[in-house]
Structure 1
Amino acid sequence: MKIDVLNIEGKSTGRSVELPSEIFGVEPNDHAVYLAVKAYHAAQRQGTHKAKEKGEITGSTKKIKRQKGTGTARAGSIKSGLFRGGGRMFGPRADRNYNLKLNKKVKQLARASALSTKAKDGKIVVIEDFTFDNPKTSNYAGMLASLSAADKKSLLVLSEYDKNLLLSSRNLKKAQVVNAKDLNTFQILDAQSIILSEGVIEKMQESFA
């Protein structure tokens, strides 16, 4: 798939690039995408939720009634989860790890599936490599406006870390800048407009194919 290269003013540079078919032209695998998004959300969970169990509740340990003859179930402690104010039975414990393991090829397939879907829908834009002399939000917002992405969730994918671009974008609620090596399936699906720097395509082919 060939796509025109634009400048930051949204005008054609007269050049075009070929998007690698092994990344932007695969048959989408919905299940791989589902697993990748599920793993992403699981990794966001802190796992610090905690409930007190019977041994952690402050209260008397005296046996509250005799063992037999009451007509009700036996009970040995007011701290039991059966009573109001007692501990929770089998409650969540702190430091639980929710991470899900995905094979490398499943991650690659999910990422390629998401990119192929965006390419098919015409939501990928390629711009020539650029940078800002100083961090300035208005410059970045102007670039997005030129690319008709000012009111959309945008994702700029760079081949290398660029501090000025990162600082220029972080005050814009719907804008995100990411290095190619850190790109994940959820970010691709969540973006309404994906902006690729011209130099990142070759790096993506090396890393993702």
Structure 2
Amino acid sequence: MKALILNENYEKTSENLALPEAYAKINPHNLYLYAKAYLASIRANTAHTKNRSEVSGGGKKPWRQKGRGGARAGSTRTNVWVGGGVAFGPRNTKNYFQKINKKQKRLALERALADKADKGALLVVENFEIPSGKSKDAASIIKKLGFKDILIVKSLLDEKSFLACRNLVNCYLVDISEVNAYLLAVYNAVLIEKSAFKNLIKEA
């Protein structure tokens, strides 16, 4: 498993950086569990309906129990009435949190890196920078790399590069501190600055 090194023109060279062999032996289930926990943690959890005790009105019995030939009714706010409460609707009181251990979180990150390296989609460049701040310049680099979409990881974000990449749908630019296993796994390729790559491996 090796990360491919690119030159300043974002072309592949004969050089590469090896990943620790232990990465390939990590059970992929760690990555699955982390992705599941990550997606659960970003749920908005805003869907909410009112039941019959929460909607307004319905205090008085609408009509007498017998004698009028229609169905009996005790309240205008039951779920069978228009304007009534909702039976078994979504509630925003549900907790979607899923625990993930620090060690498992790290194993998931390592496995995601190994998967990308195994596919030849882990690319390392000395420095990624778009001095012009123009999206067309960033788009031309991504097109040259030949991947459907790509995650770009910098040691430290700069304003020009951020402006160049923020409107492109096929790339996502992040700081090294924002990297997680889910982001590494969800993109088809990862382009990472050399200093950021070394720090990421060192933390492992």
- Normalising by the residue count of structure 1, what TM-score does the alignment of the two structures yield? 0.81
What residue number does 1:18 align with?
18
Secondary structure (helix, strand or coil) at the match of 2:50 reads coil
CA spacing shift, 1:21–1:163, aligned 2, 3 Å: farther
Amino acid at match of 2:5: V
What residue number does 2:143 align with?
145
What residue number does 1:93 align with?
91
- Normalising by the residue count of structure 2, what TM-score does the alignment of the two structures yield? 0.82
1:77-156 mapped onto 2 (5 Å cutoff) = 77-94=75-92, 96-149=94-147, 152-156=148-152
What residue number does 2:30 align with?
32
What residue number does 2:5 align with?
5
Aligned length: 203
Counterpart-to-counterpart distance in 1, 2:182 and 2:155: 19
Alpha-carbon contact 2:41-2:97 (below 8 Å) kept: yes
Secondary structure (helix, strand or coil) at the match of 2:24 reads coil
Amino acid at match of 2:149: K
Is 2:173 the counterpart of 1:177? Answer: yes
Secondary structure (helix, strand or coil) at the match of 1:164 reads helix
Q: Percent identity?
A: 34
Is 2:167 the counterpart of 1:164? Answer: no
Match of 2:193 among 183, 197, 204: 197
> Deviation of residue 140 (structure 1)?
1.3
Secondary structure (helix, strand or coil) at the match of 2:191 reads strand
Match of 1:57 among 55, 62, 71: 55
Q: Which moved more, 1:73-82 or 1:165-174?
A: 73-82
CA spacing shift, 1:74–1:35, aligned 2, 3 Å: farther
Counterpart-to-counterpart distance in 2, 1:62 and 1:83: 14
Match of 2:74 among 69, 76, 83: 76
Secondary structure (helix, strand or coil) at the match of 1:199 reads helix
